C-alpha cells in the first residue's frame, strides 16, 4: 500500500478538521515546463507545541479544538480562545501516537501571520505538525521518533527543504515549541543537513 493517498498519511489516525482551504496555485512555468521560482509548492515543515489546558496532557481536547468541538465552558482558560478556528495537518501525542486532521494537499490554519525566508503566509506552503507539550518544557522520545519518521516521509512526498519552529516564523508573537525542543538531537535523528534547519 502507498504511504500517501490524497495527501493523507497511511500511518496516521485520521480525524477530519473542517478548518482548511485550498493551497494557492503553483507558480507559473517557463516555456520548458519548469517552475520559474524553482520552489516546490510545499517545502516547509512547521513544528508547534500545544496542550489543553496548557500543561495538561493525555486528553482529547486538542483534537476537539481542531474539529470545532471543544466545550468552551470546560475550563476557564478556554474562554480566552473561545470561538477560535484552527487546525494543523498532524498532531503527535506524548506517547508518539500520530493523528492527521488535514490533507497535506490542503492548507491548514496553523501558522497565522508568519514569514519564512522572505515569504509571508507560511500556511500557503507549509505542513504544520503539533507536538503535545508546553513551550519551554521537554518533549518525549516517542514524539521525536514519530516526528522524524513523519518528516522523512513528507520529505520524500513533497520535496521539503526546511523545518522551522513556530517561534522562527512568527518571532515575538509565538514561542513554541520553545527551548525544550532538542533541535540538535532531532537533526541528528532525521539526518538532514544544516541548511534545512533554523
Q: Mind telling me the catalytic residues?
A: 130
Cβ neighbourhood burial of 126 (10 Å; 0-12, 13-18, 19+): buried
Q: Work out the number of other CB atoms within 10 angstroms of the CB of residue 65.
A: 23
Whose cell is 513528507? That residue is 154
Beta carbons of 192 and 180 less than 8 angstroms apart: no
Please state, in angstroms and rounded to a whole number, the distance separating the CA atoms of residues 91 and 147.
Answer: 10
Amino acid at each position: 500500500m502507498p504511504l500517501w493517498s490524497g495527501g493523507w498519511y497511511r500511518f496516521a489516525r485520521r480525524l477530519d478538521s473542517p478548518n482548511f482551504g485550498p493551497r494557492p496555485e503553483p507558480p507559473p512555468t517557463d516555456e520548458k515546463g519548469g517552475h520559474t521560482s524553482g520552489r516546490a509548492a510545499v517545502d516547509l515543515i512547521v513544528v508547534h507545541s500545544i496542550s489543553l489546558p496548557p500543561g495538561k496532557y493525555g486528553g482529547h481536547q486538542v483534537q476537539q479544538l481542531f474539529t470545532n468541538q471543544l466545550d468552551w465552558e470546560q475550563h476557564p482558560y478556554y474562554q480566552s480562545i473561545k470561538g477560535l478556528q484552527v487546525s494543523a495537518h498532524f498532531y503527535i501525542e506524548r506517547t508518539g501516537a500520530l493523528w492527521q486532521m488535514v490533507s497535506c494537499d490542503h492548507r491548514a490554519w496553523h501558522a497565522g501571520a508568519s514569514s519564512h525566508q522572505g515569504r509571508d503566509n507560511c500556511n500557503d506552503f507549509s505542513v504544520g505538525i503539533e507536538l503535545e507539550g508546553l513551550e519551554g518544557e521537554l518533549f518525549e522520545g516517542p514524539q521525536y521518533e514519530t516526528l522524524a519518521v513523519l518528516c522523512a516521509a513528507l520529505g520524500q512526498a513533497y520535496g521539503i527543504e526546511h523545518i522551522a519552529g513556530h517561534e522562527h516564523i512568527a518571532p515575538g508573537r509565538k514561542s513554541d515549541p520553545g527551548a525544550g525542543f532538542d533541535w540538535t538531537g532531532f537533526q541528528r535523528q532525521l539526518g538532514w543537513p544544516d541548511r534545512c534547519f533554523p
